[in-house]
Structure 1
């Protein structure tokens, strides 16, 4: 059984599903196109859907003939049907796709999903048990290093957006370059340890908030009280109305300069200049110190 793997750059358990498939004797098939080519391919079929969906589809189509594709589940904000049910919605919209299997992107429910998948791939319960034992050490969130809050001769801004979006080099690389050119240093929310973000999100007043809502809120809460952070850049993907609404609500609650930025794979961000001017007005940058990290309660 040839199984494709649609593991994003934002995977909470990087390498888990690839290692599990290899233990079962099934070498995972990865996308054959680079990000720009995958985006172009996805747009040809779904021109009016969000950037992340187009990228995912292009990567799936580039895998060629596979029996199934594993799709790690994205954290969905309220109303985000694509993130909640990407495999089902893609299968309905695009005919001829291989079986799309949603799998957890975190420890919760992981072993049960892996067991079910293993039996489907190998039909050998003993081999599945051995595979689970070997990959179990990879089934916990890795302890990520806290990002520095300052950089010499730069003014710090928090860049807040969905993990699956900000982790894409197609989005992050040109945005970092644009910020750097303007003398800004971006602390990106997807680089914060997920466990710390979710812990801070326990302060949310909405008990029924989705995982995506909690991740955005937790990142804002974690960075909002830091004196080094002079402004907030809230990022959503093109044609993603649910995320745009979620970040807009967060932006309205901030007392520091904010900018809502819609990204679509572009490399030019002219709106950042006015944002820089608002952020740096009266501000003074300073050299980083060893204590400048994003720590709960700092």
Structure 2
């Protein structure tokens, strides 16, 4: 059996799943097509889809003939059909794709999902148990450290957006480079300690019924928004992702700091509106004291 493994959508536990397949004796393959070519391939087939979906599709098509494709689950947003059922929607929109399965990207449910997957692939409970034991260290959460919030001679800006965008090195690089070019110090939500983000997310109004993706965005904003070093907030939405854009526009009302909502497409390197935003948050920043009540913890 040949199984494709995607590292898109801000995957954090790709090493775990790759090692697990190897321990099962299953051939695991990853797409080697450059991101720009994979995106073009996906865009040609689904021109109206969100950028992250186009990239996933391109990666799937680049795998060639495989028996199964594994991809990370993503925390959905309100009204987010793609986030809730990406494998099913891709199969409905395009015929001839290999079977796809979304797997937990961390959390306690990951081991249970691995057990079910191993049974499905090998029908050998003993081998599955041994494989799980050998890859157990890779399931442990990484060490959680806050990113540096200050940088010499630069003004810090928080960049908050879905992990599928900012956690993907190919999709998120253009915006970071543009901010760096403007002399800013961007700190992204993808860099934040997940446990601290989750704790802040539980303080969201109606958190018990809020979608996981919305709580993650809210928690990220609140974790950065209270830091005196952060002078402005960029809310970044994947291009053509209406659910993400709507969620971020709602989130913009949750901060009193200067805020800008932008869309980010594959390969995009310029956002004309960033210059005016930079000027807005940097003029007098060095002399401006931290606002009363800001949380530096």
TM-score by length of 1: 0.93
Q: Secondary structure at the residue paired with 1:4?
A: strand
Is contact 1:13–1:142 with CA below 8 Å preserved after alignment? no
Residue 166 of structure 2 corresponds to 166
The aligned runs of 1:21-32 (5 Å cut-off) are 21-32=21-32
Residue 237 of structure 2 corresponds to 236
The answer on 1:67 being equivalent to 2:67 is yes
Is contact 1:12–1:141 with CA below 8 Å preserved after alignment? no
The aligned runs of 1:24-173 (5 Å cut-off) are 24-173=24-173
Which aligned segments of 4 or more residues in structure 1 are displaced greater than 4 angstroms? none
Point out where structure 2 has 5 or more consecutive residues left out of the alignment: 289-294
User: 1: distance between equivalents of 2:230 and 2:27?
Assistant: 44
Residue 246 of structure 1 corresponds to 247
User: 1: distance between equivalents of 2:16 and 2:9?
Assistant: 13
Residue 274 of structure 1 corresponds to 276
Is contact 1:198–1:215 with CA below 8 Å preserved after alignment? yes
User: 1: distance between equivalents of 2:287 and 2:115?
Assistant: 52
Is contact 1:154–1:183 with CA below 8 Å preserved after alignment? yes
Deviation at 1:297, TM superposition (A): 6.2
Q: Residues 18 and 63 (structure 1 numbering): CA distance in 2 closer, same or farther, change over 3 Å?
A: same
Residue 290 of structure 1 corresponds to none
Deviation at 1:25, TM superposition (A): 0.7
Deviation at 1:243, TM superposition (A): 0.4
The aligned runs of 1:187-266 (5 Å cut-off) are 187-206=187-206, 207-265=208-266, 266=268
Q: Residues 84 and 105 (structure 1 numbering): CA distance in 2 closer, same or farther, change over 3 Å?
A: same
User: 1: distance between equivalents of 2:198 and 2:12?
Assistant: 13
Q: Secondary structure at the residue paired with 1:145?
A: coil
Is contact 2:9–2:52 with CA below 8 Å preserved after alignment? no
For 1:68-124, what per-residue CA distance to the aligned partner results, in whole angstroms no more than 9, with x for missing partners?
A: 001210111111111111111111111111110121112232222111111121121
TM-score by length of 2: 0.93
Deviation at 1:285, TM superposition (A): 7.8
Residue 289 of structure 1 corresponds to none
Point out where structure 1 has 5 or more consecutive residues left out of the alignment: 287-295
Is contact 2:103–2:113 with CA below 8 Å preserved after alignment? yes
Number of equivalences:
289
Residue 291 of structure 2 corresponds to none
Deviation at 1:5, TM superposition (A): 0.4
User: 2: distance between equivalents of 1:285 and 1:118?
Assistant: 59
User: 1: distance between equivalents of 2:263 and 2:64?
Assistant: 31
User: 1: distance between equivalents of 2:92 and 2:46?
Assistant: 12
User: 2: distance between equivalents of 1:217 and 1:285?
Assistant: 29
User: 1: distance between equivalents of 2:96 and 2:87?
Assistant: 13
For 1:22-70, what per-residue CA distance to the aligned partner results, in whole angstroms no more than 9, with x for missing partners?
A: 0001131101211111100000110001000000000010011100001
Deviation at 1:170, TM superposition (A): 2.8
Deviation at 1:253, TM superposition (A): 2.2
